[in-house]
Amino acid sequence: MLKEELYKLIIKKKSFLCVGLDSDIAKLPKHLLDFDDPVFEFNKAIIDATIDYTVAYKPNLAFYESRGVAGMQSLEKTIQYLNKFPGQLFTIADAKRGDIGNTSKLYAKSFFGNEDVSKNFDAVTVAPYMGEDSVAPFLEYKGKWIILLALTSNKGAENFQLLESEGKKIFEHVLEKSGKWGTSENMMYVVGATQARMLTEIRKIVPDHFLLVPGVGAQGGSLEEVAKYGLNDGCGLLVNASRSIIFASNGNDFAEHAKSEAGAMQKIMQTLL
């Protein structure tokens, strides 16, 4: 999906909501465990319930890879289902990959280069620590995006990301340096919602890029603050909510509660836009 297409989708749905499919099998409603693939049935129901309010879906691969073959089958079926809605949503593999060039080429192929295009994602999260040659292979795919980790919402972010070097914080070096590798047409950045007040400084460095912002909802980040400091003329935000939507209820009515939570966020986003 091109940047212009993503922006049009945001305007059409009056939303910049991303739903994280962090589908922990231990937290699923009990009645779903009777299905052959309870995680896929859960994901499908969540997607159907929230798609009118949502522009992006982000499966976190940890919840799938940790279950071995069964988990990867759930992920494959989920992305194939998502790709049955062309032009209606943006898909993100939250994989946080990043390795030496040859390995990164294969990681990029696994997310973007499947011959069966129904198995491909629009974007993948990438760690920048190993530098340009670990990121470049992901940028070879036209119409695909990398979402580079910049300033995350976890407590450990201060261990490295907020350290200063040559008068700048490490995450600021990441933003400046990586801006020479890609463009605002194929590169986004992860910025945690709990770091919302730093968005002013971030926007000085990357004014035109999209930012993927996790941490709203269960992690306590403020949607209004994120919008105040992070919105640009092209929206420029994808705000992720996971547990607060998908696990709003653990009963038979889980999909209805997910729909209600997503709809409530969309209403706020419509006002903010």
Q: Mind telling me the catalytic residues?
A: 96
Helix and strand element counts for the chain (H, E)? 12, 10
Beta strands in the chain (DSSP E): 17-21, 56-59, 90-97, 123-126, 145-151, 164-165, 168-169, 187-191, 211-213, 237-241
Radius of gyration of the chain (CA): 18
Q: Which three-class secondary structure state does DSSP give residue 183?
A: coil
DSSP letters of 256-268?
HHHHHHHHHHHHH
> Which of 238, 212, 239, 220 lies closest to 151, judged by CA?
212
Give the Cα separation of 79 and 58 in Å (integer): 10
State which H helix or E strand residue 137 sits in.
Answer: none
- 219-256 per-residue burial string, b: 16 or more CB within 10 A, e: under 16: bebebeebbebbbeebbbbbbbbbebbbbbeeeeebbe
Closest by CA position to 61, among listed 13, 6, 107, 115? 107
Q: Which two tokens stand for residue 241?
A: 């909510």
Q: What is the C-alpha to C-alpha distance for residues 151 and 170, in angstroms, rounded to an integer? A: 9
